[in-house]
Amino acid sequence: MKKELVPKILLLIGITFIGFGIYQGEVMEVLQKAIQICLECIGIG
């Protein structure tokens, strides 16, 4: 019973945090940081 419950709880917590981040507008910030890192890796940024 416990082995089945723990992954479900962790999945629910993860989905909750992802939803909270989307609600706060963090998607664009993460995307901007990812773009900056990629540009630095290839030597453009």
21's CB contacts (< 8 A; 6+ apart) are: 27
Q: What does the mean pLDDT of the chain come to?
A: 91
Size (the chain), residues: 45
**Considering its fold, how many domains does the chain have in total?**
1
Proportion of the chain above pLDDT 90, given as a percent: 71
How large is the C-alpha radius of gyration of the chain?
Answer: 17
> How far from chain centre, in Å, is Cα 11?
13
| Range 26-38 average pLDDT | 91
Domain assignment of residue 15, given as a range? 2-41
Amino acid identity at 15: I
> How far from chain centre, in Å, is Cα 41?
21
- Under the banding of pLDDT at 50, 70 and 90, the label for residue 45 is low
> What is the reported pTM?
0.62
C-beta of residue 39 within 8 angstroms of C-beta of residue 45: yes
| Range 9-31 average pLDDT | 94
